[in-house]
Amino acid sequence: MVERDRYSEEEDVTEENIIRTKRWFVILGDPGSGKTSFARWLIGKSIVDDSSISLDNLSCALQDYIKQGQALIILDGFDELPVSDQRSKIINLVENFVDTYVQTLMGTSAFDDQYLSRLFDDLSKSGGNQLIVTSRIVGYHVAPLAGQFAHYTIRPMDMEHMKDFVDYWFFRVHQRILDTFNLSLINQEENHASNSCLMSFICSVAFSQLEDSSLPTQRILLDEGNINSMSIILQVIFMEILHQVLFMKKKMKEICTESIKESLSKNFNTKDHIRDIEHQACEFVQIIREDVGILAARGESLYGFLHLTFQEYFTCLKLINIETTKQEKEQTYTSSLQNKIQFIAQSVRYRTNDPHFQVPIALALGKISSSWCQKNFVNFCYEFIKEQDEYDSLLPLGAYMLIKCGNDLVNYPSHDVLFNALDRLIIAAGQHKWSIVCSFLFDQIIISLRKFRHDIVSLWIIKLLSQFYQHDIQTISALCHLIEGKPQEFENIKWLNQSSCAMLQFLSILDNENNEFAIDRLLVKIAFSNHHLLPVNPSSFKGFFLDEEIELNSISIILFSIIISLYGGLKRDGSDIVFDVFHTYPE
């Protein structure tokens, strides 16, 4: 894990150190990163076996433990609260609970003076209640907890961690099989194999290694491989209940009954037939509820998905699945198809503001790119990125989501679609000065563009610069801010070539203090990192300097200072900064 919101380099933080020193902390991580597994592991290590407590007295016992300061409280899946009003109420309840019951030995809470809490609180010695919250990263930032909660993010596994995990997982499964045949009940404390989502992913890794092939990088293809192993009826059931975070046992039974009737394609008139189908539905619901490992009990006859990955996948399918009505069948094929594309694009676009739909939308874009023909996909993208209202000028949400989800696309749309989306973003960035008021948007777009093929971004930059007469200086400046990136970063320079750099040199005459000399700053960075990109004009200062073969030793210090201030020319040589005429930039 790594502590969040740290700017300096920091080594991984161990779980033991966090648990020993932090009284209130939040564990953040991507879906499937191990937040719930960590919580279960911690419970297994911390739980006290008190068989003398009956189930009837359990509530009183828990209250006593909390009042005595001997409780470890874990709130798992904090981001899964679906309704904003309900979420606000629960956050207030949690914060009030923490303020009252999770305090230091001196009586300070997470909402008191930070210095005093750290000075007088030594959890490993003083004891007391401890609170741990787990949440997805995106869902948590929508409504984070107030106070002095330490935040830790679970880092993705590197290759060595992946190998260790797979080896350990198969070792445990092998041990479980042996134990089952021997009717043994040992080694039951870590039941990773009970999660079909985890098991399916790991088995996919193993089988792809045997076939000497790699796993697809797009999430939609990974999820489809897992879901396709389910029965058709099971898929239908989940398609119907996916729009609810929680669903009733009765609802599952009703959907299952109708699905069985449709699959058998027969008419059922007698009571015996209907009773037999209902009996099959009950058995099937019991299997998926108790044995498959996809659903988990959330209350009396109330169930939810064991992992949000399933719900997100089926939500994706629901977003792009439009039933054909009788009226549509009577219309022409072309008109009906265009209406469907428009409706789906609007449906997906409508949910771009909802953080719970971020992953389903990314999956939906990937699904459409892989299963639709190129023409329909292109039409969908144009409809998806089309400006909807005046707020779109601040942040074109459709264009932003399309570019941000580029790595989830199985197939790219046309270059015109991508260039159109990028144009919308860079125009908005220039008009509303993203580099000043919301630089994090630049960071998000840069991360996404780095996952695109280099030629796509390079071609877009050349196209935008060649059509500079259609854009104002703010748009060109925003493009320069995007390419420039952060200080000490030069990775984005790879998007440029001599043609685009020549255009930038030509446009540098438009530079002024109003746009903070953005073009000039970018040229300086190019000259410093890769001067070969800057063409040499014989009539320029660089050309003159090279043709005349002027010795650097013959130039006075004062003249050197003037040259550097006007033309740059500095480069790094080991630990030294030296002058090199090839690194001069304005022409």
Q: What is the pLDDT of residues 331-353, one digit of tens each?
A: 445 557 788 898 999 889 888 88
CB 38 within 8 A of CB 27: yes
Question: What is the H or E stretch that residue 42 is in?
Answer: helix 35-46
Mean pLDDT of 450-479: 90
pLDDT of 9 higher than 50: no
Backbone φ, ψ for residue 327 (5° rounding): -65, -40
Mean pLDDT of 92-97: 86
Range in 149-163, 166-180, 222-236 the model is least confident about: 222-236
Residue 358 to residue 153: CA distance in whole angstroms: 19
Q: Which residues of 19-32 are buried (b: 16+ CB within 10 A; e: fewer)?
A: beebbbbbbbbeee
Amino acid at the residue 104:
T
pLDDT of 520 higher than 60: yes
Q: What's the burial of 323, exposed, middle or buried (CB within 10 Å: 0-12/13-18/19+)?
A: exposed
pLDDT band at residue 201 under the 50/70/90 scheme: low
pLDDT of 404 higher than 80: yes
First vs last Cα of the chain: how many Å apart?
Answer: 49
pLDDT of 155 higher than 60: yes
Contacts of residue 156, defined as CB under 8 A and 6 or more positions apart, other chains included, come to 30, 33
Spell out the domain ranges in the chain: 2-156, 195-315, 320-532, 536-587
CB 490 within 8 A of CB 529: yes
Q: Which residues pair with 127 in a beta bridge?
A: none
Q: Which of 532, 449, 437 is nearest to 492 (CA)?
A: 449
| The length of the chain, given as a count of residues | 587
pLDDT for 281? 63
pLDDT for 223? 72
Residue 26 to residue 149: CA distance in whole angstroms: 7
Contacts of residue 107, defined as CB under 8 A and 6 or more positions apart, other chains included, come to none
Considering the chain, what percentage of its residues have pLDDT values greater than 90?
A: 16
More confident residue, 171 or 489: 489
Q: Which residues pair with 174 in a beta bridge?
A: none
pLDDT for 459? 95
Coil, helix or strand at residue 333: helix
* Domain 2-156 CATH class label: alpha beta
Mean pLDDT of 185-197: 40
Residue 252 to residue 286: CA distance in whole angstroms: 10
Mean pLDDT of 262-285: 64
pLDDT of 386 higher than 80: yes
Question: What is the H or E stretch that residue 126 is in?
Answer: helix 123-126
Question: Look-up: residue for tokens 């990263």?
Answer: 137
pLDDT for 460? 95
Amino acid at the residue 426:
I
Residue 410 to residue 368: CA distance in whole angstroms: 9
Most confidently predicted of 102-111, 141-150, 333-342, 508-517? 508-517
pLDDT band at residue 320 under the 50/70/90 scheme: confident
DSSP 386: S
More confident residue, 217 or 120: 217
pLDDT band at residue 187 under the 50/70/90 scheme: very low
pLDDT for 573? 78
More confident residue, 221 or 493: 493
Residue 176 to residue 185: CA distance in whole angstroms: 9
Q: How many CB atoms lie within 10 A of CB 277?
A: 17
pLDDT for 332? 46
pLDDT for 282? 66
CB 137 within 8 A of CB 2: no
Q: Which of 131, 122, 78 is nearest to 104 (CA)?
A: 122
CB 208 within 8 A of CB 215: yes
Most confidently predicted of 62-66, 355-359, 371-375, 572-576? 371-375
pLDDT of 10 higher than 50: no
Q: What is the dihedral of CA 26, 30, 32, 35, to 10 degrees?
A: -10
CB 193 within 8 A of CB 173: yes
Half-sphere exposure of 198 (CA within 13 A, CB side): 20
Most confidently predicted of 147-151, 396-400, 466-470? 396-400
Mean pLDDT of 78-107: 78
pLDDT of 402 higher than 90: yes
pLDDT for 576? 81
Mean pLDDT of 48-68: 74
- CA distances 150 to 29, 91, 497, 563, Å, are 14, 16, 45, 51
Residue 239 to residue 396: CA distance in whole angstroms: 30
Per the prediction, the chain carries an average pLDDT of 75
Q: How many CB atoms lie within 10 A of CB 239?
A: 16
